[in-house]
């Protein structure tokens, strides 16, 4: 779908401080092109804050580069235009608009201003593709507010797809989903990850084991461990942090 | 299946729904251009012209508030800028070349035309100013306010304060603005005598045509991609930012357009009613603009326009009967509508349609 070469996400010594509290304490990591990276760690490890820093929501020091371009210091909507999209823990779709309208708006940033003044007469190709990829074709004309929880998350991912983002940052995409929905979401992520880089923040260890290509463990604002699922699970430091949490042990 | 319909299902009621809007506008044009001039006296027609000016402001409010979520409580500011720009030109045209407007002679504090009056002797400059002054100021206000993410009640209070400040400024400069009395006693409108009933009728037609055109243009905007984007910004500004848009810019467009409509309304109000004064542009009239749109239905162009006309009409009729009670009644009506029927009276139609659709869905499902 995309012709341009995939880009590296390179995070170098990123620090985020809230009123003296250090939420992210010098994180450095690299996510290669085409990776499906899971970001795990106990509550307060700084996972969401790190994603906030990458997407321009929280001021941070250090350096975040995507495809060689520095992201820190740019306003949110400019970072998006460099090909980086994210979702939030609670699905935020435009409840009063239909699925089609939601996707169409997401696809609109590359359009020229005057086209905004016209009505949408047909379904744009990229929107149609996103509908098919996310399996929402049947829900096209429904108001997004009436979708099931899982469908809203898929719609959000679909909105990132039509934006043609190269890097997807997903914050707990399967929280609150049924087992079946988790399975479908995992398969969707693998489909999406074929020609994009995906970073997933997740608490659900079963989900991680089933779908992660690589894992980074954060703890107290630092990188604790990194590697494949098996490597990370074998790391004694990880076991220590998760002591008592049967999911990893 | 039609792609142009947003949420309507292609069932039987939808088929004639496609004709509802063109028919509605045709009916509106018929009433405004055919029926009203036929049955109304010249005096009543003049009053209707005044209500239609309020409706033009309301159409702008339906865009900024109904779609954009910006509670514009200070449209009087832009209405006044348009109105004064037009009034200044008419005063200068009445006085003749090189002469001072009558009120300046009366107050006698100056024997030279102030520099900022001079450009308005040109009709082209005055007409351009009717649009440029309100829209330019709105762009300035909007840019500084939306970028700092001021919204909700803070934005409403700010816009109201600006309208109040403008009215106070005008009152303070009596020698050059006419002060509390405003600008009045106009003789002609671009060379046509305003004492001639035929010309007054033409002004009414001009206003009616402007209203219908602006309603159609705003309706198109509502159904365009920009209209969808504006709703998205209203519902979740942060989310739109994460789609790569600058929400400040999206809101700014709607705000500036609504200011432009208020300016046009003010400019047309002057020849129709024969006066523009601080009392017509301060806080109270600014709130009244919003009340009409709210009662009729801020999310619908036609609802806002009809609501504005109805409220303005009720105000004249009822305030003649119960001068003191009207304000309370109006305030009460506003509270009731905003609390219990946020979409205004126009939403009753949609509620009924949704109820009907629900029923058919139940029937087909069963």
Residue A178 three-state SS? coil
Segments in A29-178 forming alpha helices (H): 47-54, 76-81, 99-106, 125-134, 149-162
Residue B4 included in any domain: no
At residue B365, the pLDDT reads 54
The reply to whether A145 falls in a domain is no
| Partner-chain contact B225 A111, CB within 8 Å | yes
Residue A147 lies in a domain: no
Tens-level pLDDT at each residue, chain B (366 residues) = 334 444 444 445 566 777 888 888 999 999 999 999 999 999 999 999 999 999 999 999 999 999 999 999 999 999 999 999 999 999 999 998 888 888 888 776 667 888 999 999 999 999 999 999 999 999 999 999 998 888 888 999 999 999 999 999 999 988 888 889 999 999 999 989 999 999 999 999 999 999 999 999 999 999 999 998 999 999 888 888 888 889 999 999 999 999 999 999 999 999 999 999 999 999 989 998 999 899 888 888 999 999 999 989 988 888 778 777 887 888 888 888 888 888 888 777 777 777 777 776 665 554
Subunit contact B221:A117, Cβ cutoff 8 A: yes
DSSP state of A119: P
Interacting residues of A70 by C-beta distance below 8 A, sequence separation 6+: A63, A64
CA distances from B258 to B25, B76, B79, B137, B142 (A): 21, 12, 10, 12, 12
Output the pLDDT for position B13: 57
The beta-strand segments (E) located in chain B are 183-184, 188-189, 192-193, 275-276
Residue where the block lists tokens 């042990």:
A249
Does residue A99 fall inside a structural domain? no
- What are the backbone dihedrals phi and psi of residue B61, each rounded to the nearest 5 degrees, phi first? -65, -35
Q: Is residue A84 part of a domain?
A: yes
Domain count, chain B: 1
Is A157 contained in some domain?
A: no
- Alpha-carbon distance B91 to B107, whole Å? 15
Asked if residue A180 is part of any domain, the answer here is: yes
pLDDT, tens digit, for every residue of A96-136?
A: 899 999 999 888 877 777 777 777 778 888 899 999 999 99
Instruction: State the CATH number of the domain containing residue A19.
Output: 3.40.50.300
State how far residue B153 is from chain A, nearest Cα, in angstroms.
Answer: 22
| B36 part of a folded domain | yes
Asked whether this complex has an ipTM greater than 0.85, the answer is no
Helix (H, G, I), strand (E, B) or coil at B247: helix
Query: Quick check: B231 and A106 CB within 8 A?
Result: no
**B333 is a domain residue:** yes
In a domain, residue B1? The reply is: no
The domain tally of chain A equals: 1
For A90, the domain range is 9-94+165-241
Q: Is residue B2 part of a domain?
A: no
pLDDT of B130 reads: 97
The number of helices, as runs of H, and strands, as runs of E, in chain B is 16, 4
Angle between helices B197-223 and B12-30 (to 10 degrees): 160
B170 in any annotated domain = yes
What is the pLDDT at residue A141? 92
Domain that holds residue B57: 12-317+326-365
* Residue A153 included in any domain: no
Beta-carbon separation of A109 and B244 below 8 A:
yes
Question: In this structure, is residue B48 part of a structural domain?
Answer: yes
Residue A85, phi-psi category: left (phi > 0), alpha (psi -120 to 50), beta (remainder):
beta
**Alpha helices (runs of H) in B74-224, residue ranges in sequence order:** 76-95, 102-107, 123-147, 152-172, 174-177, 197-223
Does residue A176 lie in a domain region? yes
Q: How far is B34 from chain A (nearest CA, A)?
A: 32
Chain A contact present for B225, CB below 8 A:
yes
Whole-angstrom distance, CA of residue B60 vs CA of residue A195:
45
Whether B171 is covered by a domain: the verdict is: yes
Sort A136 into a burial class: Cβ within 10 Å, 0-12 / 13-18 / 19+. buried
| Predicted confidence (pLDDT) per residue in A203-233, tens digit | 888 899 999 999 999 998 999 999 999 898 8
């Amino acid at each position: 779908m995309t012709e341009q070469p995939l880009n590296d996400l390179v995070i170098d010594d990123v620090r985020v401080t809230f009123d003296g509290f250090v939420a992210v304490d010098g994180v450095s990591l690299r996510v290669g092109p085409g990776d499906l990276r899971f970001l795990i760690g106990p509550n307060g490890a700084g996972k969401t804050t790190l994603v906030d820093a990458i997407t321009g929501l929280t001021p941070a020091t250090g350096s975040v580069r995507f495809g060689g371009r520095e992201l820190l210091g740019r306003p949110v909507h400019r970072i998006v235009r460099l090909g980086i999209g994210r979702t939030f823990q609670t699905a935020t779709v435009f409840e009063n608009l239909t699925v089609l309208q939601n996707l169409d708006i997401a696809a609109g940033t590359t359009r020229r201003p005057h086209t905004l003044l016209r009505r949408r007469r047909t379904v744009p190709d990229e929107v149609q593709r996103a509908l098919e990829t996310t399996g929402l074709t049947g829900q096209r004309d429904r108001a997004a507010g009436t979708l099931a929880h899982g469908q809203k998350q898929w719609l959000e991912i679909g909105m990132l797809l039509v934006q043609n983002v190269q890097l997807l940052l997903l914050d707990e995409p399967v929280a609150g989903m049924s087992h079946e929905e988790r399975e479908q979401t995992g398969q969707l992520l693998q489909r999406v990850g074929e020609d994009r880089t995906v970073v997933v923040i997740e608490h659900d260890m079963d989900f991680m084991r089933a779908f992660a290509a690589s894992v980074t463990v954060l703890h107290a604002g630092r990188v604790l461990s990194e590697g494949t699922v098996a490597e990370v699970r074998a790391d004694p430091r990880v076991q220590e942090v998760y002591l008592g949490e049967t999911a990893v042990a | 299946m039609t792609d142009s319909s947003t949420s309507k299902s292609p069932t039987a009621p939808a088929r004639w729904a496609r004709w509802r809007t063109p028919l509605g506008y045709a009916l509106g044009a018929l009433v405004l251009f055919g029926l009203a001039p036929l049955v109304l006296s010249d005096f009543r027609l003049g009053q209707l012209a005044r209500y239609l000016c309020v409706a033009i402001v309301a159409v702008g409010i339906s865009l900024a508030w109904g779609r954009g979520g910006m509670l514009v409580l200070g449209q009087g500011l832009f209405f006044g800028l348009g109105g004064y720009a037009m009034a200044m030109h008419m005063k200068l045209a009445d006085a003749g070349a090189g002469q001072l407007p009558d009120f300046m002679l009366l107050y006698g504090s100056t024997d030279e035309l102030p520099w900022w009056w001079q450009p308005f002797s040109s009709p082209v400059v005055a007409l351009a100013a009717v649009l440029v002054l309100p829209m330019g100021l709105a762009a300035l206000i909007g840019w500084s306010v939306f970028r700092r993410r001021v919204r909700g009640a803070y934005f409403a209070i700010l816009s109201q304060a600006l309208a109040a400040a403008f009215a106070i400024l005008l009152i303070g400069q009596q020698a050059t603005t006419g002060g509390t009395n405003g600008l009045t006693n106009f003789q002609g409108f671009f060379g046509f005598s305003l004492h001639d009933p035929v010309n007054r009728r033409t002004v009414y037609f001009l206003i009616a045509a402007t209203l219908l055109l602006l309603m159609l243009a705003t309706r198109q905007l509502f159904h365009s991609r920009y209209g969808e984007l504006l709703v998205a910004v209203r519902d979740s500004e942060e989310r739109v930012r994460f789609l790569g848009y600058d929400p400040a810019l999206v809101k700014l467009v709607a705000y500036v357009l609504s200011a432009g409509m208020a300016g046009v309304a003010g400019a047309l109000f002057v020849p129709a009613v024969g006066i523009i004064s601080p009392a017509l542009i301060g806080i109270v009239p600014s709130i009244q603009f919003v009340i009409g749109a709210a009662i009729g239905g801020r999310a619908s162009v036609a609802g806002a326009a009809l609501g504005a006309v109805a409220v303005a009409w009720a105000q004249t009729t009822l305030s003649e009967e119960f001068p003191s009670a009207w304000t309370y009644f109006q305030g009460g009506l506003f509270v009731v509508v905003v609390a219990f029927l946020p979409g205004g009276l126009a939403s009753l139609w949609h509620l009924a349609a949704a109820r009907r659709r629900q029923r058919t869905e139940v029937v087909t499902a069963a």
